[in-house]
Amino acid sequence: MGKDKLKRMQFSLLGVIPARAGSKGIKNKNIREVCGRPLIYYTIKNSLGHREIYKTIVTTDSLEIARVARRYNVEVPFIRPKALAKDNTSMLDVLRHALSECERKYHIQFDGIILFDPTSPLRDREDIKEMIKIFMQKKPDLVVGVAKSRRNPYFNMLKMRRKRYAGLVLEANFSRRQDAPHIFDIANNCWIFSRRAVLSGWRIPKKTIAYQIKGPYVDIDREEDLELLEWYLKKMRVFQ
Asked if residue 56 belongs to a domain, the reply is yes
DSSP structural state of residue 181: P
pTM above 0.85, yes or no: yes
140: domain CATH number is 3.90.550.10
Average pLDDT over residues 107-134: 96
Q: How many CA atoms lie within 13 A of 51 on its CB side?
A: 3
Asked if residue 179 belongs to a domain, the reply is no
Asked if residue 19 belongs to a domain, the reply is yes
Asked if residue 161 belongs to a domain, the reply is no
In the chain, the number of structural domains is 1
Number of neighbouring beta carbons within 10 Å of residue 52: 19
pLDDT of 24 reads 74
Give the model's confidence band at 2: pLDDT under 50 very low, under 70 low, under 90 confident, else very high: very low
What is the rounded CA–CA span in Å between residue 76 and residue 175? 53
Asked if residue 92 belongs to a domain, the reply is yes
Asked if residue 100 belongs to a domain, the reply is yes
Give the model's confidence band at 12: pLDDT under 50 very low, under 70 low, under 90 confident, else very high: very high
**Which residues does 169 contact at the CB level (< 8 Å), separation at least 6?**
153, 154, 157, 158, 159
What is the rounded CA–CA span in Å between residue 21 and residue 43? 16
- The range of the structural domain enclosing residue 116 comes to 13-147+185-232
Asked if residue 55 belongs to a domain, the reply is yes
Q: What is the largest CA-CA distance in the chain?
A: 66
Asked if residue 228 belongs to a domain, the reply is yes
